[in-house]
Structure 1
Amino acid sequence: MTKLPRPGRLSRRRLLAAAAATPLLPAVRTAGAHARTRAATPDPYAALGAEVVNEFSTAWSAYRRHAWGRDELRPLAATGSDFFIQGSTLGLTIVEALDTLYLMRLDAELDSGVRWVKDNLDVAQDARVQVFETIIRLVGGLLSGHLATKDATLLALARELADRLLPAFTKSPTGAPYRYVNLATGSVSGTENYLAEIGTCIAEFGELSRLTGDHKYYNAAKAALRAVYDRRSALDLVGTALNVETGAWTDTTATLDPPVDSFFEYLWDGWTLFADRDLRTWYTTLTTAVFQRLADRRDGRLWFRQAHMATGADAGHTQSELTAYYAGLLAQSGRTADGELYHDSWTDVLAVHRLPPEYIDYRTLAVVNHAYPLRPEYVDSCLFLWMATGKDRYRSRARTMWQRQRQYCKVANGYTVVNDVTTSPMRLGDLTPGYWWSENMKYYYLLFSNAPRFDYESNYLSTEGNVLRGLR
């Protein structure tokens, strides 16, 4: 079993002693010595940082003109669209952008966004929402917005929204949440749920518990993680989907790809944020099995296959771009060499394809799904590998992706998704996803700028890119 390093810069003895006294601790992630010294010399990436802010501002202006208050921008049609509730809005783009606006020091726009949220955000609508997306995007966005601005209303809204989502957890016989909940009535639905949607909530709910002193949110999130871990196979593998009422596996495929991906991420994050030793044990146990049973090393590359959770038999050889996040997680959790090798594998994909396809057959690097929905995961790992190792190659790789995003995804009203990366010219879609404001542009900015409002030595970014630690 691989020995994982202590979280951040706290000694294990100090960390665990503190945890016994205060179960909800601040996170510490170290960026390496380069973060302390790089400001002393001219930074060749500084101009790119300014360019990122300019591109973000241009797209934000288009959003304000054409879709202000709507969930998402459709830049080609110059209109807005709904994400959670058909015919209504939860202001997704505004909430997603709050801490990015703060980091980029776009304070007038931040003030406008906060005013919209305080005046217009209705978290009590009589409508069904997807629990997972609502937690990572809206609860997380409101929390990071509160931490940036210290506006108490944002925290109050995050808490009210979390309370309206809690029936998905508390009404479940297993503790694994139902997939949907009605915000007004608390009625639940969706008995089959996926691991990422079950387990990706302890960062947001734990932070809410830390800020409010009410541990019911953390306890619900941990029970959801336990519901999955306790049902692992004899091989220490978990499947893809559970019936949340019976606890029976409805999909027995073990994979790192969606819809499982961030389940593993939040096990580690729960340990680093809150010093919960159970979560460290669960992460270590499952990660050991992943490397024993799923790791596929071929042609000098590292990939992760799909397998049957009970037998380990082959079940597929595809890989999703979303799984590129795993390179950064491996570096954070002490498997730096494996993280670097996995990122190299995705870099090889970019030597073949101009943008990373949504899915590839990793044996040949052939495209399986032709879309590029402005995914941020490759650049996400650039940021965390750079902070973990200090190696310039990860900023250089991010620069390449930035240039390609500008070349292939930029339109008059900002940036849009690509429906087919294999055509020339690429066939575009018409959407600026909410996560683009919270993730892509934030990661580029933090990589290229010496961001004065970000602590490169001690920080935490959620799976949605929300900064829950490290805002100055």
Structure 2
Amino acid sequence: MHHVFISSSPASWSALTNYGFLTSWRLALVVFALLSLLAGTGAASKVFENAFDRWSSQYKMFTESDMLNTRKAAHDMFTFGYDNYMKYAYPLDELDPINCLGRGPDYANPSNININDVLGDYSLTLVDVLDTLAIMRNRSEFHRAVNLVIENVSFEKDITVQVFEATIRVLGSLLSAHLILTDPNRLLGDFRMEGYNNELLTMAHDLAARLLPAFENTRTGLPHPRVNLMYGVPWNTVNETCTAGAGSLLLEFGVLSRLLGDPTFEGLARRTNQRLWSLRDKDTGLLGTVVNIQTGEWQGLSSGLGAGVDSFYEYLLKAYILFGDENDYRMFNESHSLIWEHLRRGRVHCNAGIGDPPLYVNVHMRDGTTANTWIDALQASFPGVLILNGDLDEAICQHALYYSIWKKYGAIPERFNWHLKAPDVTFYPLRPEFAESTYLLYMSTRNPFYLHVGREIIASLNEHARVSCGYATVHDVHDKTLEDRMESFFLSETCKYLFLVRALLF
């Protein structure tokens, strides 16, 4: 979930606040062990002997000036990308930051789903950043952007989009901005706008209604992955969906239902989750990555925490936090236990210092055997999920793994082969997952290490990805060659989480 504001928390949060400040040496041992492991040097005793001294000199101090400078750097990063999007790309969906051009759907090539799944000719980047503008405290620009969206964005488009992407990027952002505008408690500040008459909520309702045909004419009740915003499900659509795509709708659909007083949307999302849950393997209890929506048969038998499955688990936990439905938490806890049993490799206790550091691998859903030797960039969100569940030590360990990869490459490659200790897929599209986990870990521990990590991420992005008009996708993390694309989530999420990695929310 990328947008909808969570204002309540489960009891697990008390575990975090009672945990206190982590001692630096424990975190130092984890980080330096993983760095040495990825460098191929092994966990030599000298590394551990000198870990505390190295930790103290490198990470102990983070002054108020450092904090303000880092916050400003994240703000400047966002402003540079946003201003150039508005100058060179708006009202198109995305900015091509190298050539300073706008990008919309690829109408000439309908099979180009990498573009067309996301871009819907509805000023995607502007819609996606609405809540980020508010978090950045830019009240005037937030109001201007809201007015531009209300006056110019329409979903009456002969365009086919992915249900999941339209939900998390567009529906979620419209709902978040509406909640910010109408929040009686003004948790983010006073963003009331004269003349606002719930237009963003009306637009969210319109978009969600256009997504509803995805749930029709499937024998399992699982939704089609794509719909045409004017004509419903295309005649030639595929009958397969990924677990994450179908099972990560509950937050946005649930908020919409509750704001409208109409249970339809939340009911469909919950029915989808229950149907996926019923299709788990009878022996392992695991979910696969791809399922046939007509037969219920699994087409992708790999089970992991990355692409294809990742946000299903995230949404179960966050839905419980937001709505308090015990069934969501029951499914998450059962999934968590099965993930620990079948996917986790390495020592039992993260900080034990004996054996290999823990790693969550991709396994065959039928028997739990290792399916391949890579993890992917989306899995970097899992430490944040662990934090929300109160699993602090495990979150620290998993974040340290991805930090060690970032330290080595200055980015997170899309796939990293943990056996070869090298990337399998080398591009990095400026994803937010690692930044989000860094933010959540700092907010739960107040350990200055995570402030340094945030600053390092910003420095790497400015060094390797900043170009003429924005920030470009890193094509290859080895040589830092670039691709001419700045996806909307870079501004709406990556910059937002980096801005929030600091001592106080405001």
User: If the TM-score is normalised by the length of the shorter chain, which range does it land in?
Assistant: 0.7 to 0.9
Aligned residue for 1:416?
472
8 A Cα contact 1:349 1:365, kept in partner: no
Q: Distance in 1 between matches of 2:232 and 2:407?
A: 49
1:330 aligned onto 2:422: no
Aligned residue for 1:435?
489
How far 1:31 moved relative to its partner? Answer: 7.6
Q: Distance in 1 between matches of 2:461 and 2:64?
A: 26
Q: Distance in 1 between matches of 2:95 and 2:11?
A: 46
1:161 aligned onto 2:207: yes
Of 52, 63, 88, the match for 2:85:
63
Aligned residue for 2:252?
204
Q: Within 5 Å, give how 1:300-379 maps onto structure 2.
A: 300-379=356-435
Aligned residue for 1:112?
144
8 A Cα contact 1:95 1:117, kept in partner: yes
Q: Secondary structure of the equivalent of 2:424?
A: strand
Once the two structures are superposed, what CA deviation does each residue of 1:348-385 show, in whole Å capped at 9, x if it has no partner?
21232222211111134211111111111111100111
8 A Cα contact 1:301 1:344, kept in partner: no
How far 1:316 moved relative to its partner? Answer: 0.7
8 A Cα contact 1:84 1:130, kept in partner: no
Structure 1 residues 31, 447: CA separation in 2 closer, same or farther (over 3 Å shift)? farther
Q: Distance in 2 between matches of 1:218 and 1:412?
A: 43
How far 1:170 moved relative to its partner? Answer: 4.0
8 A Cα contact 2:375 2:418, kept in partner: yes
Q: Within 5 Å, give how 1:28-427 maps onto structure 2.
A: 32=17, 42=64, 44-83=66-105, 89-150=121-182, 151=196, 152-187=198-233, 189-233=237-281, 234-297=283-346, 300-423=356-479, 426-427=480-481
Matched to 2:430, the amino acid is L
Q: Distance in 2 between matches of 1:227 and 1:200?
A: 13
Q: Distance in 1 between matches of 2:385 and 2:203?
A: 30
Matched to 2:271, the amino acid is A
How far 1:126 moved relative to its partner? Answer: 2.2
Matched to 1:132, the amino acid is F
8 A Cα contact 2:250 2:315, kept in partner: yes
Matched to 1:169, the amino acid is F
Structure 1 residues 10, 52: CA separation in 2 closer, same or farther (over 3 Å shift)? closer
Q: Distance in 1 between matches of 2:423 and 2:222?
A: 34
8 A Cα contact 1:30 1:387, kept in partner: no
Structure 1 residues 160, 30: CA separation in 2 closer, same or farther (over 3 Å shift)? farther
Matched to 1:422, the amino acid is H
Q: Distance in 2 between matches of 1:116 and 1:327?
A: 36
Matched to 1:168, the amino acid is A
Q: Secondary structure of the equivalent of 2:423?
A: strand
Structure 1 residues 45, 220: CA separation in 2 closer, same or farther (over 3 Å shift)? same
8 A Cα contact 1:331 1:388, kept in partner: yes
8 A Cα contact 2:289 2:303, kept in partner: yes
How far 1:146 moved relative to its partner? Answer: 1.1
How far 1:185 moved relative to its partner? Answer: 2.1
Q: Distance in 2 between matches of 1:451 and 1:108?
A: 20
8 A Cα contact 1:69 1:116, kept in partner: no
Q: Runs (4+) of structure 1 moved beyond 3 Å?
A: 7-12, 28-35, 41-44, 83-88, 448-452
Moved more, 109-118 or 336-345: 109-118
Once the two structures are superposed, what CA deviation does each residue of 1:371-406 show, in whole Å capped at 9, x if it has no partner?
111111111100111222222222221111111111
Q: Distance in 1 between matches of 2:359 and 2:11?
A: 33
Please report the RMSD computed on the Cα atoms of aligned residues, expressed in angstroms: 2.4
Q: Distance in 2 between matches of 1:331 and 1:11?
A: 12
8 A Cα contact 1:8 1:29, kept in partner: no
Matched to 1:199, the amino acid is G
Q: Distance in 2 between matches of 1:154 and 1:193?
A: 29
* Structure with more strand by fraction: 1
Q: Secondary structure of the equivalent of 1:315?
A: coil
How far 1:160 moved relative to its partner? Answer: 0.8
Q: Distance in 2 between matches of 1:307 and 1:54?
A: 42
Once the two structures are superposed, what CA deviation does each residue of 1:278-311 show, in whole Å capped at 9, x if it has no partner?
1111111111111111112276422211211111
8 A Cα contact 1:416 1:430, kept in partner: yes
Matched to 1:81, the amino acid is R
8 A Cα contact 1:103 1:451, kept in partner: no
Q: Secondary structure of the equivalent of 1:316?
A: coil
Matched to 2:173, the amino acid is G
Q: Secondary structure of the equivalent of 1:245?
A: coil
Matched to 2:310, the amino acid is D
Q: Distance in 2 between matches of 1:180 and 1:372?
A: 25
Once the two structures are superposed, what CA deviation does each residue of 1:12-67 show, in whole Å capped at 9, x if it has no partner?
9xxxxxxxxxxxxxxx89984899xxxxx946311211222222222222112111
Q: Distance in 2 between matches of 1:335 and 1:318?
A: 24
Q: Distance in 1 between matches of 2:146 and 2:369?
A: 51
Q: Distance in 1 between matches of 2:204 and 2:374?
A: 37
How far 1:107 moved relative to its partner? Answer: 2.5
How far 1:109 moved relative to its partner? Answer: 2.2
Structure 1 residues 29, 45: CA separation in 2 closer, same or farther (over 3 Å shift)? farther
Q: Secondary structure of the equivalent of 1:237?
A: coil
1:444 aligned onto 2:490: no
Larger gyration radius, structure 1 or structure 2? 2
Structure 1 residues 80, 342: CA separation in 2 closer, same or farther (over 3 Å shift)? same
How many residue pairs align between the two structures? 424
Structure 1 residues 31, 296: CA separation in 2 closer, same or farther (over 3 Å shift)? closer
Gaps of 5+ in 1: 1-6, 13-27, 36-40, 453-472
Aligned residue for 1:18?
none
8 A Cα contact 1:178 1:193, kept in partner: yes
8 A Cα contact 2:375 2:416, kept in partner: yes
